[in-house]
Amino acid sequence: MTSTKAMAVPPAIALAHIDKRFGPVHANKDISLEIEKGTIHGIVGENGAGKSTLMSILFGFYQADSGEIRVDGKETHIASPTDAIRAGIGMVHQHFMLVGKFTVLENIVLGAEGGFVLNSGLAKARRELERLEKDYGLQVDPDAVIDDLPVGLQQRVEILKALYRGAEVLILDEPTGVLTPNEAEHLFRILKQLKAQGKTIVFITHKLKEIMAVTDRVSVMRRGEMVATVETAATSPEHLAELMVGRRVLLRVVKSEREPERSVLEVKNLVVKDAAGTAKVDGVSFIVRAGEIVGIAGVAGNGQSELLEAITGIRPPFSGEILLNGKPLPCDPAEARAQKLAHVPEDRHRLGIVTSFDACENVILGYHGDELYQKGIFQDRRAIRSDTEKKMRDFDVRPQDPYLRLGLFSGGNQQKIVLAREIEQDPDLLIVGQPTRGVDIGAIEFIHNRLIAMRERGKAVLLVSVELDEIRGLADRVLVMCGGASPANARRRRPRSRSAS
């Protein structure tokens, strides 16, 4: 009898035959999906598989060309996020939608102030916020300013904001992309608590370990289609990776033994200070040699970003020396490039690309004066297009459209364009920050293989990543940063296969 009743309960969300095109790009192809109430449902797929498009349709950012959405068994027209919120659907975006100068409480009520008398609305919101914090274990100071909070607490505010608006279904898009491992573990505890309280969670990620750890069911998308929905307990990371990519994926880094050669990069007693005079990098010294990958590990915010910016000429050092091939590196990114240094920045949107430019323009950023791209005093558009097409083929960028605006590419394909631009310059030293942030499993395998190929060609690679498995898998030597202090050389390891999933 109980089983019959359970079967009669409609799914929290049912999508039927959802179809969506953006010009020639068929983003969602006749997708049907059911998400059961009170479960954590994972959605995985390569970058560009259509996951974010599908969830954007569910949350009202986009309108499907055809298909139907049902919420609690009732057909629901969702033409805007307001409609989605009214239907009990909330979304926590990969890039938070918070006003940095406002307090937590002000962000919670923004857009839902509750009438003309703001003070009474805030008082009511404060009481409701206290209830939500208690019920779901989401403690945060309501009077704290958002800009003063770490990213883990900012994400908590986003979740509270959705709950305050009555969300019964919560969509999280790549929620751990900016979190430390401890923050990610705390998020998982929060999600399980939400599930225990009857909420339904849709969890979009490319990290298969997270899918296995936190979800009840998982749906796999590939090239705009829904290819499988399975019980998490009945699958494995290897099986999911194969479903995502359409072939077997090697979930470990394989590299040969290699003795490093001459010193390429030397950093001596480097000190980097911020605008307030605080040392963000304090007396750091190390070398990187030809034919090796040196990894810098540590919790984000311990000086890694400032270190990379100083080496690449973006930020002036306070004191110390930086030598490339025995010559001082100038504090100028263009001159550093001229000395055979290439840089894949940690934050591609801030330092690596211009999303309003097309792919062609991004491929030549920083190298637009090269002879390859010039025809007299003018740029050679045909040569630029040809070079962009080649890089797109070689780095498997999808779609392979040189004139598509870069903001329309998925994060993983944007990252491939940055990597193609920098690696194909054949640098002596490649600086890479967070190479696989927001990147799917197939692209991770591709990027790792490219970095290993640089090492095999005798290039020096300096890698910064918050992913410890990635550092351990790729690096020949590991340096650890804490509080901006000098990295400690980890024990030299013999190269071997390591898990990188």
What pLDDT score was predicted for residue 492? 41
Give the relative orientation of helices 151-164 and 118-136 as an angle to the nearest 10 degrees: 110
What is the value of pTM for the model shown?
0.72
Bridge partner list, 499: 252
Q: Are strands 374-375 and 252-253 parallel, antiparallel or unpaired?
A: unpaired
Count other Cβ atoms within 10 Å, centred on residue 1. Answer: 5
Report the alpha-carbon distance of residue 73 to residue 132 in Å, rounded: 27
Distances (CA, A) of 397 to 61, 227, 413, 417: 25, 22, 5, 7
Q: Which two tokens stand for residue 78?
A: 């969702």
pLDDT digit string, tens, across residues 38-66: 999 999 988 778 898 999 999 999 999 99
CATH 3.40.630.30 holds for 10-250: no
Q: Which residues of 238-268 are buried (b: 16+ CB within 10 A; e: fewer)?
A: eebbebbbeeebebebebeeeebeeebbbbe
Q: Is 199 helix (H, G, I), strand (E, B) or coil?
A: coil
Which is nearest to 299 in space by CA: 482, 176, 484, 473? 482
What pLDDT score was predicted for residue 113? 58
Report the alpha-carbon distance of residue 449 to residue 243 in Å, rounded: 21
Task: Check: CB of residue 109 under 8 Å from CB of residue 122.
Answer: yes
User: Within the chain, which residues score under 50 in pLDDT?
Assistant: 1-6, 116-117, 487-501
- Classify residue 30 by burial, with Cβ atoms within 10 Å: 0-12, 13-18, 19+: middle
Task: Check: CB of residue 380 under 8 Å from CB of residue 386.
Answer: no
What pLDDT score was predicted for residue 490? 41
CATH 3.40.50.300 holds for 251-340+427-493: yes
What pLDDT score was predicted for residue 8? 76
Same CATH fold, 251-340+427-493 and 10-250? yes
Taken in order 188, 189, 193, 196, is the CA torsion positive or negative? Answer: positive
Task: Check: CB of residue 280 under 8 Å from CB of residue 273.
Answer: yes
Task: Check: CB of residue 204 under 8 Å from CB of residue 171.
Answer: yes
What pLDDT score was predicted for residue 7? 54
Task: Check: CB of residue 368 under 8 Å from CB of residue 379.
Answer: yes
Q: Which two tokens stand for residue 493?
A: 């390891």
Q: Are strands 217-222 and 40-45 parallel, antiparallel or unpaired?
A: parallel
Indicate the domain borders of the chain. 10-250, 251-340+427-493, 352-425
Task: Check: CB of residue 484 under 8 Å from CB of residue 282.
Answer: yes
CB contact set of 350 (below 8 Å; sequence gap of 6+): none
Write out the DSSP string of 334-373. Answer: HHHHHTTEEEE-S-IIIII--TTSBHHHHHTTTTTTSGGG
Bridge partner list, 322: 267
What pLDDT score was predicted for residue 121? 66
